[in-house]
Structure formats: C-alpha cells, structure tokens
Structure 1
C-alpha cells in the first residue's frame, strides 16, 4: 500500500472481509464506544498500537503525536489536542488504564537530542522544535550521563515515556483518579528492531520485556 488507490483497495478487502465477518460487532460500535484503555503513542508509521497489541476496533482510545508526548496541564485558552483527548478519555469515557508507549528509532526523540530543528521557522521544523522542548529537562539529564551517541538516543526514548507520565499526573482529573484507584498509569516501550515490548516498573525506573 503506497498511495491512496492502494488504501481504497485495502478498504474493499476490509468491507468484504473483517467488516462482513464482524457485522454484529460493528453494529454494537455504531451505538457508542466504551474502551477501557487509552494509549498515548508516537505518530511513527511503524508503531501502530492496534497492531502491536493485536486490538480490535473499539478496544483502545488512541492519541498519537510526535514522540508520544503529553504536555503538562495548562488551563488556558490555547488549543490543546492531546489534553482534549486525555480529558475526553478520562472524564467522559472513564477509561481505567492509561498507557504511554514509546518506541525505538524515534525521529522526534532524535531531533530533541541533536537539536536538528532548533531556530527553524514553521514549515521548516519550527513546530517540531517547539513541541519537543517538552524533553529539554530529560535531554539535559541524558546528555550528562550518556553524551549524544546511540546510547543517548535510546536513553532519551525511555526518559520520554517517563516525562509523559510525570506530565499526566499534573492533570487534576488524572491525579485524582489515580489516587483513588479508578485509573492506572503505565509506561511501555516497543523496540522496532526485535519487536519486543518492554514495560516500565515505576518503582525501580527500569523497563523489562513483557512476559
């Protein structure tokens, strides 16, 4: 599938296959959604959460952006796409789990570490540069420990997940629900090279392969 015509071919296969085979399921979904999990993941075309977790339509509420970042709580009149999705999933759909999934070979994280788009105008990388300033503190920590090589990129990919989890807890409705047990926050990391999912233990700060 390389262009829109290929997408249309895929749609036709879907209509003739999965949609027809699961007609009752689609009829149910037409009445509304009730996912139990929200996923914050990267826009990278290689890390589709539905594929990684073998999920069916209606099972996960997903928001994707550059470097799977969650900004801190900022109650102002600016337009906040991630915050709006988070608010909808937590307060309206009442998901019980919220997962931040980072991944290997993340271009956004690499740009944050190298400053590839620093001082660029919008249309030349300026929007990207502004967005990934969310990683400035994590970047400084990683560079102090690992420099700027491949090891540092990997370390910042992991710190990126932790940064988003920290920022999630600045949202009042997230913190409140986590405190009373209605919501669990989790961190994960998908390694593109070997297809292994790693899960964060927040007590130790370490990621371990899912078993």
Structure 2
C-alpha cells in the first residue's frame, strides 16, 4: 500500500538525517524522559503539536484524543486513559506546564453540535457528551459561528476539568504547575492563547 510505504520512506529520511544529527540526544533519551511540558491536543491529523510548537524529542509529553478533551476526576466507571496519562505526567514526570490546545474545523466539536443519536457513533457520543453543557451554553448565546465558539469553550471545559484532579489542583495552588489554554487556526497557521482572567483568546506573537 503506497500510504504505508510513504511512512517507511519517512523513516528512512529520519535515519539518514534526524537520527544521525541527534543520535547523542536519542541515546540520552533511552535512559529516561524529563519533559517539562504536557500537551493535550486533538488527534486530528492536521494539528500535530510537535510540528506547531517545533519541539524536539523529549521536550513535550503529548496526549491526543477526540476534541482535546479532559474528563472530570472520577475513580469508578470504565477505563481512564486520559486520566492515567495525566496522573503519570504530573505525579511521576512532574511536568511544570499543561497546555490544552484546541483547533479550527474540529470534527469532534462538529459532532457535539450535531447532537447525539447517530447509530454508528458507539463511542464518540459518550465522549463528546463532556461538551453537552458547553454546547447548550454556546447555542443559547447564538454566536455567528457556533463551531468556533464551542472550540474555544471546549478548551475552557478541559481546563476546568483538569482542576478537579487533586494532584493538579494541589500543584497549581503551590505554584509548581501552570495550566494554559490555546487554539490553533489551521488555515492561518496562527496560535491563540487564552487569558483566563479575561476569558479571551489572543494571537501569540510570532517572536514569542
């Protein structure tokens, strides 16, 4: 299949350039990781955090899922992949920053706006149900672009849910952990950062 062959060609380029140029860094990383930042992003193929933030291996602990969502803290119920990754990043790796990054044209947000009940959405409906209250709030406000409005609101929901985890709240209160909200405009290639006090997103200066 040509698509998989393209991946293998990419691996060849990595071996002949990226790995060769940074082999000492890879050798060091094999002994362990100490990333200072955790990024929670969407699994959308267009918004790779490593590309957007131009990171190097070992710089960021990255978790990606549908619509960059964080569920609230709970100990019962089913499997908790997001919560497990969060617990590991905060309590074991001791990251200093957590970035929640939403993005434009998000399919998960579109699904949330469309509502529930599609027969082929076995798992997605329950997951995007995390946005039900935010969706209702956005629709009540009747913005010109509800998709964009819910993309921004979804970042705030995840930040609020992060703070329901005791190990996150304790470290943030102690100044050992800082939370950030961002939104990426695909067509513009522009990153916006949330000012939580003002509740507004503003473009990040390119020279930042």
TM-score category of the 2 structures, normalised to the smaller one: over 0.9
For the 8 Å contact 1:42–1:64, the answer to whether it is kept is yes
Task: Please say if 1:90 is aligned against 2:84.
Answer: no
**Aligned twin of 2:162:** 168
Q: Which of 117, 121, 138 does residue 125 from structure 1 map onto? A: 121
Shift of 1:77: 5.3
For residues 177 and 153 of structure 1, the distance between their equivalents in structure 2, rounded to whole angstroms, comes to 33
Q: Where does structure 2 lack aligned partners over 5 or more consecutive residues?
A: none
Q: Note the 1:58-137 alignment, pairs <5 A.
A: 58-76=58-76, 78-115=78-115, 118-121=116-119, 124-137=120-133
Count of residues in correspondence between the two structures: 205
TM-score where L is the length of structure 2: 0.96
Shift of 1:133: 0.3
Secondary structure in structure 2 of the residue aligned to 1:126: coil
For the 8 Å contact 1:168–1:174, the answer to whether it is kept is yes
Shift of 1:2: 5.9
Secondary structure in structure 1 of the residue aligned to 2:123: helix
For residues 50 and 146 of structure 2, the distance between their equivalents in structure 1, rounded to whole angstroms, comes to 28
Secondary structure in structure 2 of the residue aligned to 1:98: strand
**Aligned twin of 2:200:** 206
The CA deviation string for residues 164-195 of structure 1, in whole angstroms up to 9 with x for no partner, is 00000000000000000000000000001101
Secondary structure in structure 2 of the residue aligned to 1:189: strand
For the 8 Å contact 1:119–1:126, the answer to whether it is kept is no
For the 8 Å contact 1:110–1:153, the answer to whether it is kept is yes
Q: Note the 1:132-171 alignment, pairs <5 A.
A: 132-146=128-142, 151-171=145-165
Secondary structure in structure 1 of the residue aligned to 2:110: helix
Instruction: Classify 1:119/1:103 alpha carbon distance in 2 versus 1 (closer, same or farther; 3 Å).
Output: same
Shift of 1:78: 2.2
TM-score where L is the length of structure 1: 0.94
**Aligned twin of 1:188:** 182
Task: Kindly report structure 1 stretches of 4+ aligned residues shifted beyond 6 Å.
Answer: none
Q: Where does structure 1 lack aligned partners over 5 or more consecutive residues?
A: none
Secondary structure in structure 1 of the residue aligned to 2:99: strand
**Aligned twin of 1:177:** 171
Task: Please say if 1:35 is aligned against 2:35.
Answer: yes
For residues 197 and 28 of structure 2, the distance between their equivalents in structure 1, rounded to whole angstroms, comes to 40
Q: Let me know the Cα RMSD of the aligned residues.
A: 1.3
